[in-house]
Chains A and B, each alone.
Chain A
Amino acid sequence: MFDPKTIQKDFPQLKRKINGKRIVYLDSTATSLKPQSVIDKENEYYTKYTANVFRGIYATSEEATAAYEGSRELTATFIGATSSDEIVFTRNTSESINLVAYSFMFNEFASGDEVVTTVMEHHSNFVPWQQLGGERGIGVRVWGLDEGGLLNLADLNQLVTRKTRLVAVTAVSNVLGTVNPITEIVRTVKRLNPSCLVLVDAAQAVPHMPVNIGDWGADFVAFSSHKMLGPTGVGVLWGKRELLEDMKPFNYGGEMIAEVHIDRTVFKPAPHKFEAGTPHIAGVIGLGAAINYLTTLGMENVRKHEKELVEYAMEKLNSIEGLSYLGPNDSSIRGGVFACTLKGAHPHDVAQVLNEDNIFIRAGNHCAQPLHEHLGVVSTARASFYIYTTKEDIDALVEGIQKVKRLFS
């Protein structure tokens, strides 16, 4: 098991002081901090082998290509994919989901077909289906929460019909923290309609717990580099090889072509046919370093650490009068995110007062407005954890909340 205090030493931003005080970073659900090894790796591309990938017959281009494709191998291994050909690099989770949405909504699905998404989705796994579906006569059904605030598998009996072409669901809610039973969800969907596809938004899962694509049995999995210690501007789409092979490209242009003639173009095979234009080479290489960092820690240990923090935070937060948080009270189905409301203080004010002591949390609806509307909460103040979060950080949060209470009482 690792010690988060030792981990903190690898993160240069945590050495920074603002107004003489240390930083307590509690917004890793929005984006994670970066360890020195990731920063160095990205920098290495810019200082040692800057060149475009797949093109040059010269040393540095070959180095860059090897490092870029090496990250694809690392990514595949990290999530248990059988082949790196199933890994597509995009800009972020939203783009990964849009790639699937555009490809199927425009080419495969027809008016009268249906897509199912859930009320606990991040906007990135909600708006593409709502907008593209609406334009093309494809119905979007929304899976709500049961009385316990969870997705109830029994509801799928009504939601998934012969018309359902795809179910889009998050593995971990970025607001509730709920860890959804993806394996069971996929199994139930496939039992009800074997040809229905399942896309999993794993943006909050892959960084925080062991993920094995094979165990899930889904067709597509999307996540982002920047939430798992890697650079911003890089997303991942994993897709079943036979599906990716049949899908039409999402963007057209350079890099993704095999032959171009005046009257026709032949595309490269997947995954390269989905990576039009010069990609974020340095970012992808940096993601490889992030995966190496997480692999060294061990994802079982990452999850164990966060579970401990969740238990500690639940105990501390439950003892604050007037404070309540969304999501389950059970660390076995909860990730390290607490979206809170505090009686008498608006979430903006909570975040602003905490900021005075360099305690950084997020206030708002966290790109999950349908969920907030569903729960009847306008906005929340959200604290979230990662590998460098300590119990002292949670103590600082609690002290900060007490300060807010004193100010607004």
Chain B
Amino acid sequence: MDLYRENILDHYKHPRNFGHLDGANVVSEEVNMSCGDKIRIEILLDDKMIKDIRFSGEGCAINQASASMLTEKVKDMSSDEIMKLELKDVEHLLGTTLTPSRVKCALLPLEAIQKAIQS
């Protein structure tokens, strides 16, 4: 399995929407203690729509690429639509299927985004 395809490495090395968001009104943080992945999500939510989003933290390539791709995808999406996203959507973005040991890495950013908009 060639997990480290070009687009994953590209998002890992050049993450989109990385950093902090001035004026963010919802924030969440998630940690995966077993491997040390950490993510912080900052969102500007307006009328249940994601107007802007940033992420920060550290993690493996799958984790960081997933965060980078997801932040691109969820911009201008509604909360209801985002709450419906699941593993297969993340795998679709990454362009690969994941083994059970890597599912957690890929899902952590989605969990953080969903937690933030529910808060």
Contacts and interface: CB of A to CB of B under 8 A. Distances in A.
B35 A349 contact: no
Contacts of B33: 369
Given A348-B60, A349-B61, A379 B102 contact: no
Interface residues of A, number: 17
B72 to A, nearest CB: 21
B117 interface: no
B4 A364 contact: no
A165 to B, nearest CB: 31
A179 B90 CA distance: 44
Contact of A365 (B34, B59, B102, B105): B34
B9 interface: yes
B1 A363 contact: no
B35 A407 contact: no
A378 B58 contact: yes
Interface string A352-387: 110010000001110001001000001100000000
B interface, size bucket = 10 to 19
B36 interface: yes
Contacts of B4: 349, 352-353, 407
A378 B36 contact: yes
Contacts of B63: 346
Interface string B23-61: 000000000011110000000000000000000001111
A348 B35 contact: yes
B34 A364 contact: yes
A347 interface: yes
Interface in A328-365: 345-349, 352-353, 356, 363-365
Nearest to A379: B36
Given A378-B36, A379-B35, A348 B58 contact: no
B62 interface: yes
Nearest to A363: B35
B3 interface: yes
B77 to A, nearest CB: 28
Interface in B56-94: 58-63
Contacts of B12: 408
Contact of A352 (B34, B36, B102): B102
Closest CB pairs A-B (n = 5): A378-B36, A346-B60, A348-B60, A379-B36, A349-B61
Interface of A: 345-349, 352-353, 356, 363-365, 369, 372, 378-379, 407-408
20 contacts: A346-B58, A346-B60, A346-B61, A346-B63, A348-B35, A348-B60, A348-B62, A348-B105, A353-B4, A356-B1, A364-B35, A364-B36, A365-B34, A365-B36, A372-B36, A378-B36, A379-B35, A407-B4, A408-B12, A408-B13
